Chains A and B, each alone.
Chain A
Amino acid sequence: MDLETALSKSAQLHLCDGILRGALLRRRAELRKSWRRFISSECLESLGSLAKGIESFLSGQDAFRDWQFAATVTWMNCDATFLDCVRTIALAGMVEYQPSDTPPPRLLPLDLSKLSSNERFEALYARYRCPLNMGVASESDVAEELLRQLMVQDRAKLEAGAEFGVDLILLKLNLIGIRALITRDLRFLDAVNYFYELPQRSLRRMHANPRFLSFWLCIYAQLLSTPDWQKCGLR
């Protein structure tokens, strides 16, 4: 291969794809061994009947479900609760939904950022009762705003050891993880990477919500097992 071909865009993408895939699989193998650092035995116990499923998902072989179809849907309605839906997605199950042509009124990022922490949690929890809606095209502004909040203010708080709203940050991490599963946007995957890499002392407070914490890790495990990031996420 001559140098020009080797440095062409397609060759570069091929090179990046191979290196990225290897790194994701190495991280998945690491997570398989180290997830107990994030979810303590007490946390696991508090999950009750859910504990076994979480344990076997995180310790087991790579599993993921292809959620890309959600990007092509206008809106989805679910009968199940938000928690049930996230659990199903986290464990790569089937989410039962009814497609809808009438999405709820647009949520403006500016309006979202004006809300208090509790109001923001409630607004996101209610709007994304079917969390797959986080990946639909009309929600890209909200997704960008959540990514910005996580990677600017929330990250700064965690790194500085300041107080933070555990439930809200974990909710956002779950939602942007789901967005990454659907859109294959590497920025959303990397936000999850970033929070996973934070020192344990920064993440310890997240034990306060073991459900959201374990769902987030399961979603992360799926992201790491997801193939074809380069092909789908970048163009």
Chain B
Amino acid sequence: MRVAVIAGSISGGIRIAKEIENLTGLDVFVVVCNVGKRSPLLRWSRELLLALKSFEWGTFTARVYSYSRKRKLIVLPRPLDDATSIERLRSLQCDIGLHAANVIYHDPTISAFRLGILNAHIGILPKYRGRCVAEWSVLQGDPTGVTVFFIDSGIDTGARIVLREFIPSNAWNSVRPLKNMLFGCDARLYRKALEVLMQPGVRFEGNDVSKGRRYYVMSKMFIRIVDEILRDRANLVR
């Protein structure tokens, strides 16, 4: 199976590639796209900064070198939706893309992958679509977690859910670390999802959008409320 990590930075892509590259039967590419149409200077300064902040410098540079040498590290000079970028993606003949860039995907990009693009969404689908879903789940007394599903061009409306994992938020005393923790589960859950997808006769769970709602960015007032709820709960657990 050929898989491409679609990342907003080299370090972000390598982080996920590192987690999945030793799965048997998997050929991994890292595709780095230019999010927000940054100038080359800004883009490469950011890459350097992120690389310095990332895991062990030695391991990182070795991996970057290894992927580059095998021509498996592809840096797209133009935005992801540009025709040349889509053509480049198609030429990789990948089965699956893994979302790790802050971009919205349109149909031509999605269809460049045989099975589609997986997203590790930090909310439980189908109930929680859109933004700030971890916060909304806490506010409404629902469990938090991550859903890995194949995206479509809508907002978290892709019909095929590969897996859902409930991840308790009780130990976290504010929104920011909770979300960082949930976002940080992406590599592990992509690995788990790929393991599922490599099984014969895989069956997907449906994502019935009528059973959920779309959520939006949360006000400061509600974020403070969620912080307070988390703090109270964390104190209870302690």
Contact = CB atoms under 8 A, between A and B. Distances in A.
Interface of A: 3, 6-7, 9, 12-13, 15-16, 19-20, 23, 27, 144, 147-148, 151-152, 155, 186-187, 190-191, 193-194, 196-197, 234
A9 B233 CA distance: 12
B1 to A, nearest CB: 35
A190 B218 contact: yes
Interface string B202-232: 0000000000011111111110110011001
10 contacts: A7-B170, A15-B229, A19-B228, A147-B216, A152-B216, A190-B219, A193-B220, A197-B219, A197-B220, A197-B221
Contact of A151 (B213, B216, B222, B229): B216
A16 B224 CA distance: 12
A190 B222 contact: yes
A23 B219 contact: no
A186 B224 CA distance: 15
Given A23-B224, A23-B225, A155-B217, 15 more contacts: A13-B140, A15-B232, A16-B141, A19-B229, A20-B225, A23-B221, A23-B228, A27-B221, A187-B136, A187-B213, A190-B222, A193-B220, A194-B217, A194-B218, A197-B219
Contacts of A12: 141, 229, 233
B236 interface: yes
Interface residues of B, number: 23
B141 A9 contact: yes
Given A7-B170, A23-B224, A13 B141 contact: yes
B213 to A, nearest CB: 7
B226 to A, nearest CB: 9
Contact of B225 (A13, A19, A155, A194): A19
A13 B219 CA distance: 20
Contacts of B76: none
B214 A193 contact: no
Contacts of B220: 193, 197
Contacts of B49: none
Nearest to B237: A3
